[in-house]
Amino acid sequence: MSSLTIALFAALAVYLGGWWMGHWIGNFSLLLFLLTVVTFGYWLAERLKFAPARQQAALQLERDHAQRMESLARQGIEKVDSDVQAARHKLLAQPWWLDWTAGLFPVILAVFLLRSFLFEPFKIPSGSMIPTLLVGDLILVNKYHYGVRLPVLNKKIIANHDPKAGDVIVFRYPVDPRIDYIKRVVGVPGDEVAYLNQRLTINGKPVTTEAQGDYYDEHSMRYAKRYSEQLGERRHDILVDPGRVPLYGVEPKAFPMAQSCRYSVEGVTCKVPAGHYFVMGDNRDDSQDSRYWGFVPDENIVGRAFLVWMNFGNLGRIGGFN
């Protein structure tokens, strides 16, 4: 079993190393599920086989010691140099390969359940959600707000709330579901979303915005116009760069249900299909979102982002956000 354990740890090291070096895209949910299953197998083997075997060996040692002491006593020998308790402790001790597998099962199981059904941490890798979220923000995502989903498969088994306009969601990128994206919901099923000449309109009504002055974007090292925007129940800030020329009007886009969208040099207008959502980044002119690659299917949604729990470069970032 120790050789098998070494082989499993070696495979894990290769997988994590290749992921870290960018040779492939890892799937942490699947990895955590497999670690839970494997350590559970070791935990069962420990409870049902290895621990009873060690306890039986320790009992046999005590019986053999007692018989030996009786034999020596009959010969008139009462004192012997032996430490049966040290030998017993050594027999009962878990070998390293069980300590690092069966011993870790409760911890891995707790992390798996917490991450799969309650809250999951993410790190903001890009500036598409500036000024709401900055590069380096570590955020928490509520996994049950939109319903309970099966781990790995991401299939919804218990419905809860539906995403609303204004929600910040994490989802599996429709173009490559191995990658997680974070954007703001702009359009829900049935909405007609138009983003023309850098102005957002929902169902024919312009979204209310208020100018907030200039904003220096340290990520792109340029100034942009900051606006307060009303989507849904709460307000949030967005950035608009009047000097940027949108690229989505240059050529038609190929994505599922692209026929629901109309492109022009002014921008894009889309009718959101059933079971899908139209999402955009708050950094409107520096965000690859539904304007470029289409709608987010409901089955791709991971959860609702609601809290910055850490930013090692700026502790003042910790807290909730709109």
Could you list the active site residues? 128, 183
Backbone phi and psi for residue 32, each to the nearest 5 degrees, phi listed first: -65, -40
Residue 85 class from Cβ within 10 Å (0-12 exposed, 13-18 middle, 19+ buried)?
exposed
3-state secondary structure of 92: helix
Distance (Å, whole) CA 18 – CA 64: 52
- Coil, strand, or helix at residue 157? strand
* 96 CB burial (10 A radius; 0-12, 13-18, 19+): exposed
Taking alpha carbons only, the member of 185, 186, 188 closest to residue 168 is 185
Give the integer Cα–Cα distance in Å for 44 and 197: 62
The candidate with the shortest Cα–Cα distance to 284, out of 218, 200, 187, is: 200
Q: Is 80 helix (H, G, I), strand (E, B) or coil?
A: coil
CA 233-183-128 angle, to 5 degrees, is 120
